[in-house]
Amino acid sequence: MTEAVRLDGITKRFPGVVANDDVTLSVERGTVHALLGENGAGKTTLMNVLYGLYEPTEGDVYVDGDGLTYDDEGAVADAPRRFDSPRDAIDAGVGMIHQHFMLVDPMTVAENITLGNEPRKWGGLAVDRAAAREAVLDLSERYGFDVEPDATIEDIGVGVQQRVEILKALYRGAEILILDEPTAVLTPQEVEDLFEVLEELTDAGKTVIFITHKLGEALEAADEVTVLRDGKNVGSVETAGTTREELAELMVGREVMLETETPPATPGAPTLTVDGVSANDERGVTAVDDVSFTVREGEVFGIAGVDGNGQSELVEVVTGLRKPTAGAVALEGTDVTDASRRARTRAGMAYIPEDRQERGLVMDFDLSENGVLGSQHDAPFAQGGRLDWTYADDHAADIIEEYDVRPPDATAEAKSLSGGNQQKFIVGREFARDPACIVASHPTRGVDIGSTEFIHDRLIDLRDEGRAVLLVSSKLDEVRGLSDRLAVMYRGRVVDVVDPDEVTEEQLGLLMAGEEPEDVPRADPVADAADATDGVAGTPPADDADAEVADD
């Protein structure tokens, strides 16, 4: 066995936090090694140490893309590395592809790939653009990538951008590639393509470390998996000799038993009607294209899709944050297409926004003040333009109590709360409006398991009270588990509306990737029944577990 990377007893402390606690990790050359764990388990911190972004508080880093050397007793003979900056790591052959791509949008593929290492001519007075282009084409051909060097980053798709990131690392001579949550933004098909690329790379002798919280993907793509929990290495296993259950248990430290049991809905009259809505994104490009659907009282209508296919813009049109270019939105039979945010809130529309820290809460306000957000002009919060802070304090205290927000202190600033508690407070505030219609956009994104279950239960309760729920989520299991009807969006269009109990993950995946519904093979009744039983019996399908422990 030849290791390309050995991390020996790495500890990384931040003021008040131990992100990595004595982690030892060994990665064999020419393999894919998955680093698996929940959010906050310390995966990214560990890799940032390897990439020179952080200096470890304790421990040694050994790296050699061609494999480490050993002395007679089997100990590593290489000197430990000391990376002061990513530049040092790059020089040692380590490349990192971050979760959020490190690309300069208005620049071209070739400019991005060569950034910081531009081939020069005329004694440095000019970038040799022809040489840069050639180098990119060469690399791209060698690994079977299909990228156009002169395309501008903002014009190419996410999957291609990811390849540009990989090429960027390869251009810098990376022998060891670190990929941070590479599948988060990809369609299932793009994920498959990525895994093929990873195989190409390891065949060519590269070593890949792949950070993920999805154990299904870790099992599929990796040769070996290391699980981190609370900053500690809780075990490294060969994928060949392990099971999903074993990995799941390692990850969360207890047996994972998650089920979404939803009694059937009894839908009533239409509450929210979206009719032929189109809208543009910030750049003026069509993001929502002629979308129509109706959400009835007493049902959850789900929208599934890979992030960035128009869901966000659609939600903004529905809630009054974005003007549609065409179409109409009606709430309980009244046209609200031109109604303001405030008018819609007053008309009974609650809204859990996808970005709680940007939109949902004013981070520097305390919870009392945040409890007023959206109602600051309405009685009983305001009387004749004057705010009643005594009422607001009581209101916030009620939400805190009912939704178990911690710390239970209405004077705490929103920014001092954890993500899950922030979300619970928003959910509590929105539900307290006694809404006819609830628009919930990624309501459990980045929320811990306990809060997720709680929010799910509350959504179902509200549905059963006869309210209409529009649920948008990129977590497949969430939309499948909660929705009574499920629309799939791709490139701004609703490609199909399905009964979530009658489609498989694979079929949904194909729809989300833009396949026409008629081209998607429907599962035969037997398999269908099996799938349904799966959910009811409470043995969670593996991918459910994936997403549930997921925490982006």
Partner 1 sequence: MSADLGDRVDALGTRGTVAAAAVLAAVLAVAGLAVTGSGDTVVAVVALLFSKSTLAAALRLSVPIAFAALGGIFAEKSGVINIGLEGLLIISAFAGVYATSITGSVWLGVVGGVVASTLLALLFAVVCIEFRADQIIAGLAIWLIALGLAPFASQVVFGSKNASAGATFPDIQQLLADTGLPVVSTALVGALDALAGVPFLGALFEASPMVYLMFVAVGASWWTLNRTSFGRWVRASGENPKALDTAGVDVTRVRYAAVLLSGVLAGVGGAALSLSLGQFVGNGPTMVNGKGFIAIVTYLLGNYNPVGALLSTMLFAGLDALQLGLQGQDVLAIPQSLVRTIPYVSVIVVLALFGRTRIPEAAGEYYESGEE
Partner 2 sequence: MTDADGDGSADGGPPPRSARDRAFDVLDRLVAASATERLLISGSALLLSVAIGFLLILAAGRMTSCDAAAYSLFGVGFCYDPILVYDSLFLGAFGDFFANPLNGQFATTVSETTVLVFTGVAVAVAFKAGVFNIGGQGQLVFGALASALVVYALAGAVSGLVGTVVLVTVGVAVGALVGGLYGAIPGALKAYADANEVITTIMLNFVATSVALYLAGGPFKDPESFANQTRRLPEYALFPQPLFPGRTDASLLALALAVAVAVGIAYLLRRTAFGYDVRTSGIQPEAAEYGGVDAARTVVSSMALSGALAGIGGAVYVLTIAGNFQTGVPDYGFDGITVSILAGNNPVGAVAAALLFGVLKSGSIVVDVGTDVPPQLVGVLRGLIVLFVAMPEFFRMIGKRVDVRDRLGGSRDAVATDGGEEA
What is d(CA 317, CA 426) in angstroms, rounded to the nearest whole number?
20
Residue with tokens 């809060």: 451
152 interacts with partner 1 by CB under 8 A: yes
Are 31 and 208 within 8 A, CB to CB? yes
- Tell me, what amino acid is at 302? G
With CB under 8 A as the contact rule, the residue among 18, 76, 127, 137 that binds partner 1 is 127
Least distance to partner 1, CB of residue 412, Å = 23
Determine, following the binding rule CB under 8 A, whether residue 213 of this chain makes contact with partner 1: no
Q: Compute the residue count for the chain.
A: 552
Q: Which of 487, 11, 161 is nearest to 293 (CA)?
A: 487
* CB closer to partner 1 out of 102 and 379: 102
Q: Cβ(152)–Cβ(209) under 8 Å?
A: no
Q: Which of residues 402-421 bind partner 2 (CB under 8 A)?
A: 410-411, 413, 416
Q: Which of 18, 76, 115, 131 binds partner 1 (CB under 8 A)?
A: 115
Binding status of residue 16 toward partner 2 by CB under 8 A: yes
Contacting partner 1 within 24-53 (CB under 8 A): 44, 48, 53
Of 124 and 241, which CB lies nearer to partner 1 in the complex structure?
124
What b/e string do you get for 89-124 counting C-beta neighbours within 10 Å, with b at 16 or more?
bbebbbbbbbeebebeeeebbbbbbbbeebeeeeee
Determine if 168 is a binding residue for partner 1 (CB under 8 A).
Answer: yes
Binding residue (CB under 8 A) for partner 2 from 2, 69, 243, 340: 340
Residue 451 binding partner 1, by CB under 8 A: no
- Which of partner 2, partner 1, none is residue 366 near (CB under 5 to 8 Å by kind)? partner 2
- Taking the least distance from each CB to partner 1, the nearer of 74 and 122 is 122
13 binds partner 2 (CB under 8 A): no
CA 54 from chain centre, in angstroms, equals 24
Establish how many alpha carbons lie within 13 A of residue 279's alpha carbon, considering only the half-sphere containing its beta carbon.
26
Q: How far apart are CA 315 and CA 306, in angstroms?
A: 15
Residue 234 or 387 with smaller CB distance to partner 2:
387
- What's the DSSP call for residue 407? S
Q: Which residues, including other chains, have CB under 8 Å from residue 371's CB and lie 6 or more apart? A: 392, 395, 396, 399, 410, 425, 429
Tokens 């599962």: give the residue. Answer: 523
Segment interacting with partner 2 (CB under 8 A) among 35-43, 51-59, 382-390, 501-509: 382-390
329 binds partner 2 per the rule CB under 8 A: no
Q: Restricting to residues 296-325, name those near partner 2 by CB under 8 A.
A: 321
Smallest gap from residue 341 Cβ to partner 2 (A): 4
- 217-254: string of b/e by CB count within 10 Å (b at 16+)? bbbebbbbbbbbbebbbbbbbebeebebeebbbbbbee
Q: Which does 150 bind (CB under 5 to 8 A by kind): partner 1, partner 2, none?
A: partner 1
3-state helix, strand, coil in the chain (%, to 5): 35, 25, 40
Q: Which two tokens stand for residue 142?
A: 């060698």
Answer yes or no whether residue 232 interacts with partner 2 by CB under 8 A: no
- Three-class DSSP category at 227: strand
User: With respect to partner 2, which residue has the nearer C-beta, 137 or 387?
Assistant: 387
Judged by beta carbon, residue 134 or residue 393, the one nearer partner 2 is: 393
The only residue of 347, 373, 449, 497 in contact with partner 2, by rule CB under 8 A:
373
How far are the Cα atoms of 6, 298, 411 from residue 470, in angstroms, in the given order? Answer: 48, 11, 32
Cβ atoms of 304 and 507 closer than 8 Å: no
Binding of partner 1 by 220 (CB under 8 A):
no
Q: Are 295 and 271 in contact (CB under 8 A)?
A: yes
Residue 285 is a binding residue for partner 1 (CB under 8 A)? no
Q: Which of 449, 279, 445, 261 is nearest to 352 (CA)?
A: 445
| Residue 18 found at the interface with partner 1 (CB under 8 A) | no
User: Which residue's CB is nearer to partner 2, number 51 or number 381?
Assistant: 381
Q: How far is the CB of 1 from partner 1 (least distance, A)?
A: 31
Q: Smallest gap, in angstroms, from Cβ of residue 337 to partner 2? A: 17
**Smallest separation, CB 229 to partner 1 (Å):** 20
Q: Is 284 in the site for partner 2 (CB under 8 A)?
A: no
Residue 266 found at the interface with partner 2 (CB under 8 A) = no
What is the separation of C-alpha 130 from the centre of its chain, rounded to a whole number of angstroms?
37
Question: Is there a contact between 348 and 336 (Cβ–Cβ < 8 Å)?
Answer: no
Check binding of 131 to partner 1 (CB under 8 A): no
The answer to whether residue 363 forms part of the interface with partner 2 (CB under 8 A) is yes
Applying CB under 8 A, does 90 fall inside the site for partner 1?
yes
Binding interface with partner 1 (CB under 8 A):
44, 48, 53-54, 85-87, 90, 96, 98, 102-108, 110-112, 115-118, 120, 124-127, 129, 150, 152, 168, 172
Residues that bind partner 2 (CB under 8 A): 15-16, 321, 340-342, 345, 351, 353, 355, 358-366, 368-369, 372-374, 376-377, 382, 385-387, 389-390, 392-393, 410-411, 413, 416
